[in-house]
Amino acid sequence: MARPRRTITFVCQNCGAVTGRWQGKCEACGEWNTIVEENAAAPGPVTGRLPRKGRVFALEPLAGKARDAPRLTSGMIELDRVIGGGFVRGSVVLVGGDPGIGKSTLLIQAAAVMATKGHRAIYISGEEAVAQVRLRADRLGLAQAPVELAAETSVEDIVASLAEGKTPQLVIIDSIQTMWTDAVDAAPGTVTQVRSAAQALIRFAKRSSAAVFLVGHVTKDGQIAGPRVVEHMVDAVLSFEGDGSHQFRILRAVKNRFGPTDEIGVFEMTGAGLREVRNPSELFLSERDLGRPGTAVFAGIEGTRPLLVEIQALVAPSSLGTPRRAVVGWDPNRLSMLLAVLEAHCGVRFGSQDVYLNVAGGLRIHEPAADLAAAAALISSLAGVPLPTDAVYFGEISLSGAVRPVVQTAARLKEAAKLGFARAIIPEAARGEAAAEPAILLGTVGELCSLVAAIGAEIRGVHSVESGARRQEPAA
């Protein structure tokens, strides 16, 4: 029998780019020392016969009836929300995250909930022995859940075993980097192996209509290690984030073919596994430093959910020629822009000051609506004046110093009122929409400078944020 032709190629383990020779630096992604020699089966005809004539297949109308409910809810509301309302049958989801963040814990919990509801859930571990997986399940109080386990790494064996018996509804592969296939000759963990293994599992998912979850490792700079290529092949990519010093874990959709990508799921890591957090604002505001300068509460929106979070700033005289600017949980470019606007339009000088900005609780904020809260925290720290503890802030700041309205004013105010806040500092133009929430005293700012003046006025004992602040009368 003719053997498939083998060719030697050099593949970047970071981005998957292929080159003809070894190089120290990958031309495609710029990483050093990532190019590895790999054996790959040559594409094209391997048997020497002529290419076969294509088979004719029938086309189907879009309006056809799906046989099953297209989605299965997992029963974990936070997970369901992130994937867009439940597992889509036949879909493949890649879950990435730092080592030890809780990916295995999350997925074994999801498998246990599904299995308890009577679905067939299979958990294949390539990293831990069956006994270790059992030990974890024991600790989580899930030892009695009818999840089927195996410790396997050969994709051919896995696909053959999964095809036996009743079709599983949920299959978890932990992790894709440990899987290998006979079809290619490269070492396990290389891009070629990971890609081929993922391809085989994706083919299985589409054919069997099982939902498949692949766990993927993450490199130091937060990308799913090696196979960026896998991200393009799967239907959804979820990232499980959090930092070691906090108990909060955030599940975020980075890509989703079947749902939104701006939803987050919030979990808390406890001694007995991950607990779903239904009201994240309470969690993020649970340890506030009340009455200290430099903190402001931002009323944000993550996906469809309002989320209140504290923004902390420290402005301190610098001993360095170039003062430090350090940001955790927010965009450093956004901070530079804000400082420039404060200097240029409001005459607030940060030139000889170190500036630190931190979003409490380990959360990352992407919304420009946080500008106003960050500005308030910065001015408060610089002036040494605490902001009112019962106020929330939101609004986008433009380069001209104007405070622009943001989406979902009413939802933000409603959440603030629910958590006992009495005032909100919001953009002038949002006043009309804000009237829907009569429980909140509104202070509106049209220009960033009026916020600076108002915080300055606090020093002199004036308590309202702007002369225009007024109590909203309940609608008659």
> Does residue 97 interact with ligand TYD by CB under 6 A?
yes
Q: Which is nearer to Mg ion, 104 or 281 (CB)?
A: 104
Q: Which stretch binds ligand TYD (CB under 6 A): 38-46, 154-162, 267-275, 405-413?
A: 267-275
Q: What angle do CA 451, 442, 292 make, to 5 degrees?
A: 55
Q: Give whole-number Cα distances, 33 to 10, 26, 188, in Å.
A: 12, 8, 18
Contacts of 250 (CB under 8 A, 6+ apart): 240, 241, 242, 264, 265, 266, 267, 363, 364
Q: How many CA atoms lie within 13 A of 163 on its CB side?
A: 13
Q: Which is nearer to ligand TYD, 104 or 169 (CB)?
A: 104
Interface pick for ligand TYD out of 16, 84, 102, 189 (rule CB under 6 A): 102
Q: How far apart are the first and last CA of the chain?
A: 88
Q: Which is nearer to ligand TYD, 11 or 218 (CB)?
A: 218
> Does residue 104 interact with Mg ion by CB under 5 A?
yes
Residue 100 touches which of ligand TYD, Mg ion, none (CB < 5 to 8 A by kind)?
A: ligand TYD
Residue matched to tokens 């979850």:
213
> Does residue 139 interact with ligand TYD by CB under 6 A?
yes
Q: Which stretch binds ligand TYD (CB under 6 A): 54-62, 82-90, 270-278, 345-353?
A: 270-278
> Does residue 178 interact with Mg ion by CB under 5 A?
no
Binding mask 157-176 for Mg ion (x = CB under 5 A): --------------------
Name the nearest CA neighbour of 315 among 349, 287, 345, 289: 349
Q: Which is nearer to ligand TYD, 105 or 353 (CB)?
A: 105
> Does residue 99 interact with ligand TYD by CB under 6 A?
yes
> Does residue 119 interact with ligand TYD by CB under 6 A?
no
> Does residue 105 interact with Mg ion by CB under 5 A?
no
Residue 87 corresponds to which amino acid? Answer: F
Binding mask 21-60 for Mg ion (x = CB under 5 A): ----------------------------------------
Positive or negative torsion for Cα 188, 153, 226, 133: negative
What are the strands of the beta sheet with 35-41, ordered from one edge? 18-19, 6-12, 35-41
Size (the chain), residues: 476
Interface pick for ligand TYD out of 71, 103, 195, 334 (rule CB under 6 A): 103
Max intra-chain CA distance, the chain: 92
What are the strands of the beta sheet with 248-256, ordered from one edge? 148-151, 121-125, 170-174, 211-217, 92-97, 236-241, 248-256, 264-270, 273-276
Interface pick for ligand TYD out of 48, 64, 271, 317 (rule CB under 6 A): 271
Residue matched to tokens 């890609």:
195
Q: Which is nearer to Mg ion, 104 or 450 (CB)?
A: 104
Q: Which is nearer to ligand TYD, 24 or 99 (CB)?
A: 99
Name the nearest CA neighbour of 304 among 277, 338, 334, 265: 265
Instruction: Kindly give the pairing relationship between strand 121-125 and strand 148-151.
Output: parallel
> Does residue 273 interact with ligand TYD by CB under 6 A?
yes
Q: Which stretch binds ligand TYD (CB under 6 A): 7-15, 36-44, 133-141, 251-259?
A: 133-141
Positive or negative torsion for Cα 28, 29, 30, 34: negative
Residue 14 touches which of Mg ion, ligand TYD, none (CB < 5 to 8 A by kind)?
A: none
How big is the site for Mg ion, counted in residues (CB under 5 A)? Answer: 1
Name the nearest CA neighbour of 406 among 441, 434, 375: 434
Minimum distance of ligand TYD from residue 453's CB (angstroms): 48
Q: Which stretch binds ligand TYD (CB under 6 A): 67-75, 93-101, 144-152, 335-343?
A: 93-101
> Does residue 444 interact with Mg ion by CB under 5 A?
no
Which residues would be at the binding site for ligand TYD (CB under 6 A)?
A: 97, 99-105, 136, 139-140, 269, 271-273
Which residues would be at the binding site for Mg ion (CB under 5 A)?
A: 104
